[in-house]
Amino acid sequence: MVKLITTSVVRGSKQGESHGGVYIIDVEGQDVRQVLDWNTTDIDWQGRGWDRGLRGIAIDGETIYIVASDELFAYTPDFRLIGSWRNPYLKHAHELSIYGRNLYITSTGYDSILAFELDQRKFYWALHVDVDRFNFKGAIYDPMGDEGPLLLNKLHLNNVHANDHGMYISGMKSGGMLHFNGEAVNMSVTLPEGTHNAQPYRDGVLFNDSKADVVRYASRTGGEDRALKVPKYEPGDIENKGIADTRVARQGFGRGLCLINDRVVAAGSSPSTISLHDLQDSKTLLSVNLSMDIRNAIHGLEVWPFE
């Protein structure tokens, strides 16, 4: 039985309305349980997602870490809040990745990756990524100091994936998946503009090709390119479909991605839907819908390891 945890963001919601939540999903049983409803007035209400909603998810033992735009939260498996942390260089955060005893967070506003030490529970290291005429450079700085980067959001970094081979970073404007080897930042593989959740997979890269409305796997050799379509619904079934600004909300927007096993992946899309895709057979196995509100978009997505 596959269970997942996901966060959603209600894009274009107004003050007084819920702007997202956290859900536990029994995929095969088609059961959805909301465990948190995120609603606060202390947010920036300008355009698209911005400060609204909860974003990336990472699980360390019995602790569930979930990040909002500028604050990291820690919960027990029954969603009792056990801690929260802010940092001056954490702004418009997106995804998380755990490697070793570090939690890495994309701070999109500052074009940075922030490291949070899981045992001492403190921010202690940060990497700023910049580009000049297609040459990338990484500068390490102290996120607790006052000599960090400016709030520019040049690359819209929205994903980080750390493993034994280094740190892989990508964003809507990065041009591809970048690789940080501890000394330099270089382009690992070029990707279409607007991608989400790019990560190494087999001998290539797995990602949400959000503009093309597909989940895609492409091998480095070019011998394999698999694209699985994001589920779409009849227009008459969509709620709040009168929203005209497609930058705020549109059907088929793919975001949220996690591996179930070596061939099946779970992927999120708008309106909030989770689908299981078999990459080996290039077919969609099943989908679970959380909401037909076009503004309601999946963000973070991970396997739920608890009963």
pLDDT at 41 over 50: no
pLDDT tens digit string along 221-232?
Answer: 878 889 999 999
Single-letter amino acid code for the residue at 86: R
10 or 97, higher pLDDT: 97
pLDDT tens digit string along 259-282?
Answer: 999 999 999 999 999 999 999 999
User: Mind giving me the DSSP string for 62-80?
Assistant: TEEEEE-SS-EEEE-TT--
Per-residue pLDDT at 18: 53
pLDDT tens digit string along 107-120?
Answer: 999 999 999 999 99
Q: How many residues does the chain have?
A: 307
Residues 61, 56: Cα–Cα separation, whole Å = 17
Pairing of strands 63-67, 72-75: antiparallel
Phi-psi region of 206 (alpha: psi -120 to 50; beta: other; left: phi over 0): beta
Phi-psi region of 61 (alpha: psi -120 to 50; beta: other; left: phi over 0): left
Question: Residue 250: exposed, middle, or buried by beta-carbon count in 10 A (0-12, 13-18, 19+)?
Answer: middle
Residue 84 CA neighbour count, 13 Å, CB half: 10
Residues 115, 142: Cα–Cα separation, whole Å = 10
Instruction: Compute the average pLDDT of residues 148-175.
Output: 96
Sign of the Cα torsion 296, 248, 177, 269 reads positive
Domains of the chain, first to last: 3-303 (2.120.10.30)
Q: Work out the pLDDT band at 50, boundaries 50, 70, 90.
A: very low
Classify 34 as helix, strand or coil.
strand
pLDDT at 157 over 70: yes
Residues 67, 65: Cα–Cα separation, whole Å = 7
Instruction: Compute the average pLDDT of residues 164-189.
Output: 96
User: What angle (nearest 5°) sits at the alpha carbon of residue 24, between those of residues 19 and 25?
Assistant: 110
Question: Residue 36: exposed, middle, or buried by beta-carbon count in 10 A (0-12, 13-18, 19+)?
Answer: middle
